[in-house]
Amino acid sequence: MARFVELHPDNPQQRTVDQVVERIRGGALVAYPTDSGYALGGRLDDAELKDRIARIRRLDAKHHYTLVCRDFAQLGQFVHVDNSVFRAIKAATPGPYTFILPATKEVPKRLLHPKKKTVGVRIPDHPVPLALLDALGEPVLSSTLILPGQDQPPADGWTIKEELDHVVDIVIEAGECPAQPTTVIDYRELPPVIARVGAGDPTPFEA
């Protein structure tokens, strides 16, 4: 049964944040709110986490998982961002965007796209995940919580608790959040491809 945790949406209680992070370090899979709906996340180096997310969402091997980062400096440790795309990505972060970029050697091979050696990255504009990332000190391996047969993530924690009570370890409630996934910008080639239109305005990335 998942633990249900309530956090203040603007000023998350540090003691509770630290308790959640301790569980994440121990291998917990967490459903948490972001600026673009709920996501599933956990430790980057947890070998089982990717498979747990894949089973819940019924994802295939070609799915791009996302590293949710605290800031641009951290993001830059895990993906290659050359000068031609730096300004565009920097201007859109933090925000409801996911960027698909070539991965550095810091990313475990099992998390990369099998052919392209790329990974998704993003910096959320929401106090709860930023507080978790601050306390954790490293990115979170994550995927938008879109369940099979649906096209958008849930907007509240109680819905997730009811549906995923026995397959996730923690559900964080911090008030209603947007029920819209990130906009995905694929930078595997230039000009970039808008792979999914979601909460972020795609206009700055249109050719």
Query: What is the pLDDT, as a whole number, of residue 182?
Result: 94
**For the segment 50-65, what is each residue's pLDDT rounded down to a tens digit?**
999 999 999 988 888 8
> Stretch 182-186: mean pLDDT, rounded?
95
Query: What is the pLDDT, as a whole number, of residue 129?
Result: 98
Query: What is the pLDDT, as a whole number, of residue 109?
Result: 86
Name which of 7, 33, 24 is nearest 153 in CA terms: 33
Higher pLDDT, 166 or 178: 166
Confidence label for 196 from pLDDT (cuts 50, 70 and 90): very high
Residue 116 has pLDDT above 90, yes or no: no
Mean pLDDT of the chain: 93
Query: What is the pLDDT, as a whole number, of residue 63?
Result: 84
Q: Which residues, 6+ apart, have CB-to-CB distance to 111 below 8 Å?
A: 44, 50, 65, 67, 103, 119, 141
**For the segment 119-163, what is each residue's pLDDT rounded down to a tens digit?**
999 999 999 999 999 999 999 999 999 988 888 888 889 999 999
- Taking the C-alpha atoms of residue 97 and residue 181, their distance in angstroms, rounded to an integer, is 9
DSSP 107: S
Query: What is the pLDDT, as a whole number, of residue 151?
Result: 83
Query: What is the pLDDT, as a whole number, of residue 47?
Result: 84
Residue 15 has pLDDT above 90, yes or no: yes
Query: What is the pLDDT, as a whole number, of residue 113?
Result: 75
Name which of 14, 137, 23, 19 is nearest 70 in CA terms: 137
pTM (2 d.p.): 0.94
CB 66 within 8 A of CB 142: yes
Name which of 55, 23, 58 is nearest 42 in CA terms: 23
